[in-house]
Amino acid sequence: MTHFRFAHLVNKYNSPYTLIRLGSGEHDLDGVWRAVEPIRIPLRGHFQPVNAKLQQVEGGRYTEDDRALYTTNSHAPGDLIEYKGIQYIVDAPDDRDYCDVNKYLVKKVVANDPV
């Protein structure tokens, strides 16, 4: 199978974003619970709005606040990322084994969104 190389094109338009790894915390020597600061990993990728056709096909699952992320980094569903001060959760990776650039759909984190 042909493997397409688009990383150099995407890198031209990349912007910084942050992967946030949440820590669970630990007990200190006195038995007091101490929350661990989240680990913030700087990465680069290209964000695009989710197109209207995908919003309609998915029956409103995606909104105009959600984004498509193109990056050479790998993410797992449920990863928390921050882009321009807004937090997103990686929702669905797009199967792209023919290309060196990964595409992810990311959903904006809303404080009162039902789980």
Domain residue limits, the chain: 7-108
Decide if 34 contacts 59 (C-beta within 8 A). Answer: no
Residue 74: what pLDDT? 86
Residue 1: what pLDDT? 47
Residue 115: what pLDDT? 47
Residue 26: what pLDDT? 79
Q: Where are the beta strands (DSSP E) in 15-113?
A: 15-21, 26-27, 33-34, 39-49, 67-71, 80-83, 86-94, 102-108
Residue 112: what pLDDT? 60
Residue 68: what pLDDT? 87
Residues of the chain with pLDDT under 50: 1-2, 115
- Show the tokens assigned to 2: 């042909």
Task: Report the alpha-carbon distance of residue 76 to residue 74 in Å, rounded.
Answer: 7
HSE of 94 in the Cβ direction (CA atoms, 13 Å)?
15
User: CATH second-level architecture of 7-108?
Assistant: Beta Barrel (2.40)
